[in-house]
Amino acid sequence: CSWSDGQVTTPEGYKDAYQLFAEGGWSGLGGNPVYGGMGMPKVLAAQFDEMVCSASLAFTLYPSLGAGASLAIDAHASDELKEAYLPQMYSGEWAGTMCLTEPHAGTDLGIIRTKAEDNGDGSHAITGTKIFITGGEHDLTDNIIHLVLAKLPDAPAGPKGISLFLVPKFLVNEDGSLGESNTLACGSIEHKMGINASATCVMNFDGAKGYLVGEPNKGLNAMFTMMNYERLFVGIQGLGSSEMSYQNALEYAQDRIQGRSANGAVQKDKAADPLMVHGDIRRMLLNMKALNEGGRAFSTYVAKQLDIAKFSQDEHEKEKASALVALLTPVVKAFLTDAGLESCIAGQQVFGGHGFIREWGQEQLVRDVRITQIYEGTNGIQALDLLGRKIALSGGAYLETFLGEVRSSVNSEDEFAEELLTAVDKLEELTRQLLAQSQNDPNVINSACVDYLNAFAYVAYGWVWSLMSKTASKKLAESSEDQPWLEAKQITARYYFKRILPRFESSAAAALSGTDELFTLSPDQF
C-alpha cells in the first residue's frame, strides 16, 4: 500500500479482487439474515477463512475486519444502527475496523485516552489517536465503519470505564446515502515486516461524530463479543499460511531432484532422485501435515462450540459450549499461529536456498505469518489468559469440562487410547502442580504459562488426531472409496503420536521448573 495526504492506495488488482469477493456475497457469509447476511455457522465459515488466508493473508484482512465489526454491531447496537449500517457491510459496499490500540496503550486498554463527549443529539464527539488499525483507510469501499473504544467524561478509571462507538468515515444520511466526511483522518501507514498490502494505519479522530454501541462503560464487553471469533480467525490465519507453505514445499520436494535415496537410486534414468526420498525432508513435510490437519480439526471444534453457544436452544449446552470457548480460544489463537510460523519456516527450509529468494514466495509466508503471533493479543498474553484466568480463576472447572469431553470419547479399543489417556492424566497433574506452586509464588503463572499452553495444545491435538484416526478406520471398514486418503490419515495420526506428542514432556518439564533463575538474575546481569 501507499499513503499520500491521508489517502491509502491498495496494490494493483486489489479493487477488482475485492469487488469480485463482495459480489459473491462472501462479506456476509456469517452475517444476520435479517440484514442481508447468509447466516452460515462459524464451523463452515472457518473452512472458508482458511482458504482465503492461504490465498492472500493481506487481502483477507480487509473483509474480515468488516465481518468482525458487523458481529459486534449485530450483537450490541441499537436497531437503528443495525438497519443503517449492517446491510451495506454484509454486501461488502462498506468495510469495518476495530480501533483499540493507542500509542501508550496496547495490552492495557484501561489507560486509553481517546475521549467521547455528548453532542446532545444522540451522537458523541470522538477525539484521540489510534494506532495499528488494520484497514483504517483504503480505496476498496465507499465507506469505512470504525468501532472505536473511548471514555466518557464521567467514566470510572480503568477498563470498566471504556465505551464503544461506531464512527463512520462518511456520515450517513437518513435515506441511507453518504453525506459529508467525518472529522477523522489517516495520519500515516506503518512500514512493516510483512502483510505489506494490508494498510496498518494511524487514525486521528478530531471531534468525529460517533454513536454509542451498547451500554456506557461496557465497551470491552461489546468488543469481546467479537474477540473470541477474531482470535479464532487469527489462529486460522496461521493455519492458512502454514497450509500454503506445505502445499508449496510438497510440490517442490516432488519435483526437485537432489542426491540419491539411502536405499539406492529411485529414478535411475535421472541424475538424482526427488527430495521426497530423503528422511529429513519427509520429517519436515509430515510435521507440517500433522500440525495443519490437527489444527484444522481443533479449530473446527472450537468453531462448533461458538455455534452451539450462539444458536443452541438448550441452556446447559450453551453454558458448556461457552466454557469450552473461553478455555480453548487462547489455545487456538496462540498455538495455531506458533505452529504456523514453524511450518512456514519448515516449508522455506525444504526449498533450501530458493526458499530465501523472494520470487519463490516462501519468504513472504514467513514474513506475513509472523504478525499472527502478535496482534489480537500476543501469544504470551493468550497463555497468561489460559492459565491465569481461564484455569486458575475457575479453579480448574473449565479444564475439567474439556478433559471430561476427551475422556468420554475414548474407547479402550481405540488405537491411541492408552497414549491419549496417559497424556490427559499428565496434563491434569501438570495443572494441579502449577496451581499449587502458584499459591506460594505469584510469579509462577506468568512464568510457566507459555510452556503450559504448548503442553495443553499437544494433548488437544492428540485428541482430535485420535478422533480422525477412529473415523478413518470406520470408513475404511465400510468402503474402499477414498482409501489412500483415509490410510494417510491413520499414518499421519501415528506419526503425530510418535514424533510430535512427545513434545508435551519437554513443555511440561519447563513449566514445572520454577522461577528461581528467572528472578534471581538482576536487571544489570541481563
Q: Write the Ramachandran bin of 294: left for phi over 0, alpha for psi from -120 to 50, otherwise beta.
A: alpha
Which of 406, 409, 415 has its CA nearest to residue 491? Answer: 415
pLDDT at residue 110, as a whole number? 82
* Residue 521 lies inside a defined structural domain of this protein: no
Residue ending a domain, choose from 216, 234, 261: 216
Q: Are residues 237 and 271 in the same domain?
A: yes
pLDDT mean over 314-323: 97
The C-alpha cell at 383 is: 497463555
Asked whether 60 and 53 are in contact (CB, 8 A), the reply is: yes
- Whether residues 303 and 407 share a domain: the answer is no
Task: Write down the catalytic residue from 251, 376, 415, 419.
Answer: 376
**pLDDT value of position 223:** 85
- 9 and 101 assigned to the same domain: yes
102 plus 154 within the same structural domain? yes
Q: What number is the average pLDDT over the span 265-285?
A: 96
Q: Does residue 133 belong to any structural domain of this protein?
A: yes
DSSP 8-state secondary structure symbol assigned to residue 496: I
Cell of 281: 525432508
- Residues 430 and 507 reside in one and the same domain: yes
Decide: 61 and 198 in contact? Cβ < 8 Å.
Answer: yes
Give exposure, 241-255, as e/b (b: 16+ Cβ within 10 Å): bbbbbbebbbebbee
Q: What are the φ and ψ backbone dihedral angles of 194, each rounded to 5 degrees?
A: -150, -165
Share of the chain above pLDDT 90, in %: 96
Domain that holds residue 349: 222-377
My answer on whether 9 and 143 are in the same domain is yes
Give which of 335, 254, 359, 252 is closest to 503, Cα–Cα. Answer: 335
Question: Are 363 and 237 contained in the same domain?
Answer: yes
pLDDT tens readout for residues 56-99:
999 999 999 999 999 999 999 999 999 999 999 999 999 999 99
CA 383 – CA 451 distance, rounded (Å): 8
339, pLDDT greater than 90: yes
Which of 333, 300, 327, 337 has its CA nearest to residue 42?
Answer: 300
| 243, 54 contact by CB (below 8 A) | yes
Whether the per-residue pLDDT at 266 is higher than 90: the answer is yes
Question: Region 188-205: what's the mean pLDDT?
Answer: 98
Tell me what pLDDT residue 225 has. 78
Q: CATH number for the domain including 120?
A: 2.40.110.20
Based on the residue annotation, tell me whether 376 is a catalytic residue of this protein: yes
Segment 419-450, tens digit of pLDDT: 999 999 999 999 999 999 999 999 999 999 99
Q: Kindly state the average pLDDT of the residues 174-182.
A: 96
Predicted local confidence at residue 32, as pLDDT: 97
Q: Does residue 480 have a pLDDT over 80?
A: no
**Predicted confidence band of residue 45 (pLDDT cuts 50, 70, 90):** very high
What residues have CB less than 8 Å from 485, skipping those under 6 apart? none
d(CA 162, CA 192): 29
Domain end marker among 216, 249, 272: 216
Within this chain, do residues 95 and 139 fall inside the same structural domain, yes or no? yes
Of the pLDDT bands very low, low, confident and very high (cuts 50, 70, 90), residue 122 is very high
Beta carbons of 461 and 395 less than 8 angstroms apart: no
pLDDT at 106: 75
- Residue 481: pLDDT band with limits 50, 70, 90: confident
Percentage of the chain beyond pLDDT 70 is: 100
Indicate the SS3 state at residue 414: coil
* Residues across the chain: 526
For the chain, what is the domain count? 3
- Provide DSSP, 425-446: HHHHHHHHHHHHHHHH-TTHHH
Per-residue pLDDT for 107 more than 80?
no
b/e for 182-214, b at 16 or more Cβ within 10 A?
A: bbbbbeebbebebbbbbbbbbbbbeebbbbbbb
Domain check: are 475 and 346 in the same one?
no
Same domain, 422 and 370: no
Task: Identify each DSSP E strand in 342-441 by its residue range.
Answer: none
Q: What is the mean pLDDT of the chain?
A: 96
Q: Are residues 59 and 135 in the same domain?
A: yes
- The mean pLDDT value for 266-284 works out to 96
pLDDT of residue 354: 97
pTM above 0.75, yes or no: yes
What's residue 322's pLDDT?
Answer: 96
Residue 500 in 3-state DSSP? helix
Q: What's the pLDDT tens digit per position in 442-474?
A: 999 999 999 999 999 999 999 999 999 999 999
- The H-or-E segment that residue 62 falls in is helix 57-76
Indicate the residue type of 505.
Answer: E
Q: Does the residue 520 lie in any domain?
A: no
From 155, 188, 216, give the residue that closes a domain: 216
Give the pairing of strands 2-4 and 7-9: antiparallel
Query: Has residue 224 got a pLDDT over 90?
Result: no
Pair 332, 399 in one domain: no
State which amino acid sits at residue 36: G
Q: Is residue 525 part of a domain?
A: no
| pLDDT confidence of residue 226 | 82
**108 assigned to some structural domain:** yes
